[in-house]
Structures are given as structure tokens and as C-alpha cells.
């Protein structure tokens, strides 16, 4: 069994594109990925597409075949829906299929169109990733849920709003050199602390923006890469997925994400690595507290230590453990169905030396991508490594 290679990737600019359709956005990313890989569309044997709110934002379901048509692929196409982890789930399935030998070339990606329906409607649409009966109808929102998680974390381990502000400042700084990022704007700790409160203790700069965009990657078997002379040194060597109760009140802890713990353990075991081997990470920071929870689930920091990592400079660009060099969801943007593959694209460009696309980043050999859905009721983790 060999590990699949990332032959190419493509990402649209993330931001507000209310005039563009989801199929238009994905066509741009998908065609760019195929061109980057040097793989003809006719060689694609399956398309896996992540999308969360297509029925609500575009009145469009059954998007798999639609997106295949948009990129000129004539192959079975399947949509994956796992809230914000939709694309990560698609990547995991692609890895498993390529390893099994069932396919040699899979185009995996995702897209989301959100700004066209406005902030209020997009917020309502995002809320359906929570438990409608026991959370949404009671007035729970995702800022409120992550606010509860932050309060629980502070009570259990310590930390404060200023620690979270440092996470926001770091990710905004990282986004400055990412040409695809939505919020290429430098902020200060004071800016974050003085911003309007969204859900105490989370303010405006603790939350990711509403985003339109798409991302795609061409995954190929090692044999296909060798037979076709592809320059594809990055492999996905580990994959994991975990799950948890959908509603917060059904969980024993608000300050941990067991689904991500499970996904991490599985992915590390699959790749034969551990957290000490990881050089860089892209994690699901839909809110600043989510980055803290993510880096602890990944084992990059002990419980209670992730909260000060940004303040201490450890997770900055030139720190010992750089996290979210793309700007993360916080500043790069979060087109929900595309995020998991956008992480794979960023890490591939970093690992293969395409620094002009990943930003001014340090060299790395092992990377990890963490993609979570809802309040991490779904989570995927992938390990990427440079192979000779």
C-alpha cells in the first residue's frame, strides 16, 4: 500500500464574490489544480466535492455532478457534507480509495457561496450544523457556543481575552503575505480587545468572516505519479476522523474536542509519526479559542498550554511551531465547504517549496491539517510529508 501524492492544487481568492456562482468558483479552483498537476481531466476517475449550504445559499443540491461538469470531468462525482469539515471528509475518502487501488486519480475540493444571501441568512444557514431541537431553537449560535467553550477553558486552565487577541493578531499578520486571503489587514492586540463583543468573551476579531471561495487538489497514486513523470513530492501519509455528540450539553467537557483527539491519534498512527515530528500546522480556527483547542488536540501543546502559545510567539511564522501560516480561517477566510482542501493546498505549497504561493514561510518536512465541523462534532486530521 502506497500513500497518495498531491499532484496539484488550486485556490480562488477568498472573500466576497456575490456575483459568482458556486460552480464558477469551483471551476476556477478545479481547473487550476488540474493545470498545476499536469493531469488531463479525462484521467480523473472520481470527484469528491465538499459543500455545506448549497441548498440554502443557491437553491442547489446534487452538486457533485454539477461540479464535475464545470471542470470537464466525466467521472462519478459525490458531494460530502460534514459541516465545516466537508472537504476534509472528502480528502479522507480520496486517500482511502487511492490506497485501495480502486482509483489512481481523484479530484477533491469544495466550494461555498455565502455572501450573496447576507449576514443574517448566512448565520441562520450555518446554525443548522448545530442541534436544531436542543440548541438552535433555544437561541444558541456558533459564536455563543464557542463563547461557552472559551469560558469553560478559562475556568479549567486559565487564560483570558488578551491571550485570544494574540491568536487573532498572529493570524492577521500571517495573512498579509497570502494573496488569496480575505482579511489582509494588520491588527493589534488593542484592536482585538476594543472590537465589539460578539459573544462574551469573544469579540469581532475572535471570529472568522463570512466567505465565498473554492479550493481543489488532484490526488494521485504513487504509481500514477511515477508512470507519468509527475513532480509530486508531497504525500498524504496519515488520515484520521473522529466524531462527538452534536450538542454541547451532551458532552462531558466544553474545553476539549474529543473528535479531534480521535482523528489525531488515528492520523499519527497511520503515518507513523507523532506530534514531535510536526513542523507546521493548519488548524480550524473558526474562532480564536478553536485554534487553542485544536493545537492541544493535535498534541502540539499540553492541555492548558495552547492558550499562551501565540502570546509567547511559539505559533508565529518564525516560532518553534508555526500554526496557520495562511492566516487561518480567521484571516484567510472560511468558505465552509472548501476549507479542508484549502488547508491541504497551503501545506502542499509550503512543503514542496512553492513559497511564493504559501507566503514567506520556514522550510518544513512534516505538516498536519486539522478540519472541524460545528463545535468539532466532526473532525478530520491529515498528515502530509515530503517524499523523495
For residues 214 and 25, is the Cβ–Cβ distance under 8 A? yes
Q: Cα(41)–Cα(33) distance, rounded to whole angstroms?
A: 10
The whole-chain average pLDDT of the chain stands at 96
Digit-coded pLDDT (tens) for 303-362: 999 999 999 999 999 999 999 999 999 999 999 999 999 999 999 999 998 755 555 566
For residues 352 and 384, is the Cβ–Cβ distance under 8 A? no
Q: Cα(68)–Cα(73) distance, rounded to whole angstroms?
A: 5
65 has pLDDT over 80: yes
Q: Find out whether the peptide bond into 201 is cis, omega within 30 degrees of 0.
A: yes
Q: What is the pLDDT of residue 359?
A: 53
DSSP state at residue 12: P
Q: What is the pLDDT of residue 69?
A: 97
Could you confirm whether 84 is annotated as catalytic? yes
Q: What percent of the chain has pLDDT over 70?
A: 97
Digit-coded pLDDT (tens) for 248-302: 999 998 999 999 999 999 999 999 999 999 999 999 999 999 999 999 999 999 9
Question: Where do runs of H (alpha helix) occur along the chain?
Answer: 22-37, 54-57, 63-70, 86-100, 118-127, 142-157, 161-175, 189-194, 222-227, 258-271, 288-297, 328-332, 339-351, 355-358
Residues in the chain: 388
Collect all residues with Cβ–Cβ distance below 8 Å to 180 and sequence separation of at least 6: 11, 12, 13, 14, 213, 326, 332
Q: What is the pLDDT of residue 353?
A: 84
The active-site residue, picked from 84, 172, 174, 382, is 84
184 has pLDDT over 80: yes
Q: Cα(155)–Cα(148) distance, rounded to whole angstroms?
A: 11
SS3 (DSSP) at 255: coil
Handedness of CA 184, 337, 263, 8 (dihedral sign): negative
The active-site residue, picked from 166, 172, 284, 334, is 334
Collect all residues with Cβ–Cβ distance below 8 Å to 250 and sequence separation of at least 6: none
What domains can you pick out in the chain, each with its CATH number? Answer: 5-118+209-386 (3.40.47.10)
Please give the distance of CA 375 from its chain centroid, rounded to a whole number.
Answer: 14
> If we measure between CA atoms, which residue out of 337, 375, 246 comes closest to residue 58?
337
Lowest mean pLDDT, pick from 143-152, 198-207, 221-230, 357-366:
357-366
Rounding to the nearest 10 degrees, give the CA dihedral for residues 353, 88, 379, 342.
50
For residues 169 and 206, is the Cβ–Cβ distance under 8 A? no
Digit-coded pLDDT (tens) for 67-126: 999 999 999 999 999 999 999 999 999 999 999 999 999 999 999 999 999 999 999 999
Q: What is the pLDDT of residue 387?
A: 82
Q: Cα(124)–Cα(155) distance, rounded to whole angstroms?
A: 30
Mean pLDDT of 231-244: 97
Q: What is the pLDDT of residue 361?
A: 65
Q: What is the pLDDT of residue 388?
A: 64
Amino acid at each position: 500500500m502506497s500513500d497518495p501524492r498531491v499532484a496539484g492544487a488550486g485556490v480562488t481568492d477568498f472573500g466576497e464574490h456575490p456575483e459568482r456562482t458556486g460552480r464558477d468558483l469551483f471551476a476556477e479552483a478545479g481547473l487550476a489544480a488540474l493545470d498545476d498537476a499536469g493531469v488531463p481531466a479525462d484521467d480523473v476517475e472520481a470527484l469528491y466535492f465538499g459543500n455545506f449550504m448549497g441548498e440554502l445559499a443557491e437553491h442547489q443540491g446534487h452538486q457533485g455532478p454539477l461540479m464535475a461538469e464545470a471542470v470537464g470531468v466525466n467521472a462519478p462525482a459525490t458531494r460530502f457534507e460534514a459541516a465545516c469539515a466537508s472537504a476534509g471528509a472528502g480528502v479522507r475518502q480520496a486517500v482511502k480509495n487511492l490506497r485501495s487501488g480502486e482509483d489512481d486519480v481523484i479530484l477533491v475540493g469544495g466550494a461555498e457561496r455565502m455572501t450573496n444571501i447576507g449576514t443574517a441568512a448566512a448565520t441562520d444557514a450555518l446554525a443548522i450544523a448545530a442541534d436544531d431541537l436542543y440548541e438552535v431553537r433555544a437561541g444558541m449560535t456558533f459564536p455563543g457556543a464557542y463563547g461557552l467553550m472559551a469560558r469553560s477553558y478559562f475556568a479549567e486552565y486559565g487564560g483570558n481575552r488578551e491571550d485570544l487577541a494574540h491568536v487573532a493578531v498572529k493570524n492577521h499578520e500571517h495573512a498579509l503575505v497570502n494573496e488569496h486571503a480575505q482579511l489582509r489587514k494588520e491588527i493589534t492586540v488593542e484592536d482585538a480587545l476594543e472590537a465589539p463583543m460578539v459573544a462574551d468573551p469573544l469579540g469581532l476579531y475572535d471570529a472568522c468572516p463570512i466567505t465565498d471561495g473554492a479550493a481543489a487538489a488532484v490526488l494521485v497514486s504513487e504509481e500514477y505519479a511515477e508512470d507519468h513523470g509527475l513532480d509530486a513530492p508531497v504525500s498524504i501519509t496519515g488520515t484520521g476522523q473522529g466524531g462527538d455528540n452534536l450538542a454541547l450539553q451532551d458532552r462531558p467537557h466544553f474545553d476539549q474536542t474529543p473528535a479531534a483527539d480521535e482523528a489525531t491519534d488515528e492520523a499519527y498512527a497511520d503515518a507513523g509519526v507523532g506530534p514531535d515530528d510536526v513542523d507546521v500546522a493548519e488548524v480550524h480556527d473558526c474562532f480564536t479559542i478553536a485554534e487553542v483547542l485544536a493545537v492541544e488536540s493535535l498534541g502540539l501543546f499540553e492541555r492548558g498550554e495552547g492558550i499562551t502559545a501565540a502570546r509567547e510567539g511559539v505559533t508565529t511564522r518564525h516560532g518553534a511551531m508555526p500554526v496557520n501560516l495562511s492566516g487561518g480561517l480567521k484571516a484567510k477566510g472560511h468558505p465552509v465547504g472548501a476549507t479542508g482542501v484549502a488547508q491541504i493546498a497551503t501545506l502542499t505549497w509550503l512543503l514542496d517549496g512553492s513559497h511564493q504561493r504559501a507566503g514567506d514561510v520556514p522550510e518544513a518536512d512534516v505538516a498536519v491539517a486539522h478540519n472541524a465541523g460545528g463545535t468539532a462534532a466532526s473532525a478530520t486530521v491529515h498528515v502530509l510529508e515530503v517524499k523523495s
